[in-house]
Amino acid sequence: MELLHAASAGTMESSDALVTVSPAENGISLSITSPVIHQYGEQIKKVVLERLEALEVKNAEITVVDKGALDCTLKARVEGAVFRACDAADAGIPWGGAVK
């Protein structure tokens, strides 16, 4: 998917994450902050990158302000931010496809 503009999803509440994506030129650049980064930093990174790949996002700048979210929450927030950034949040969500 091609990002059209910056968008975000999520909150700064405990057990959530605020994910912000914006269009970029050269691949994926990812920044993560988290209170559990030592324990789960690699896992958070893996989940985010897998989601971007599944949604076929090739170029994006993505910031994850994690507040201890579980993987399922992280996935949902990444998807939400990407679909909003592609103006696909109202009609274009591939339920049962890339989004399960």
Partner 1 sequence: MINAVGRDIPEEVMAATGRDIFRGTYVNDNKEYTKAAPTVRAVCDPKRSKMVASIREAIEKCGLKDGSTVSFHHHFREGDYIVNMVMTEIHEMGLKDITVCASSLGKAHDAIVPFIEDGTITSIYSSGVRGKIGEAISNGKLKNIAVMYSHGGRVRAIEEGRIHIDAAFIGAPTADEYGNLRANGGKSNCGVLSYAYADAQYADKVVAITDTLVPFPNIPASISMVNVDYVCVVDEIGNPNKIATGAAKPTTDLRKLLMAQYCTDFVVAAPYYKDGFVYQTGVGGASIASTIYLAEKMRKDNIHMSLGLGGIATPMVRLMEEGLIGKLVDTQDFDLGAVESIQAHPDRHIEITGSEYANPMNKGAYVNKLDYVILAALEVDTHFNCNVITDSTGLITGAQGGHPDTAAGAKCTIVISPLVQGRSPAVCTDVTTVTTPGETVDVVITDYGIAVNPARPDLMEAAKNCGAPLYTIEELRDIAYSIVGEPRKIKFGEKVVGIVEARDGTIIDVVRQMQEYVFDD
Point out which residues bind partner 1 (CB under 8 A): 14-15, 35-43, 45, 67-71
Nearer to partner 1, 4 or 37 (CB): 37
Distance between CA atoms of 28 and 70, rounded to whole angstroms? 22
Least separation in angstroms between residue 75's CB and partner 1 is: 13
Whole-angstrom distance, CA of residue 70 vs CA of residue 8: 18
* Min CB(68)–partner 1 separation in Å: 3
| Min separation Cβ 20 and partner 1, Å | 19
Q: Which is nearer to partner 1, 7 or 48 (CB)?
A: 48
- Three-state DSSP at 49 gives helix
DSSP string, 66-98: ESS--HHHHHHHHHHHHHHHTT-TTT---BTTT
Which CB atom, from 45 or from 94, has the smaller least distance to partner 1? 45
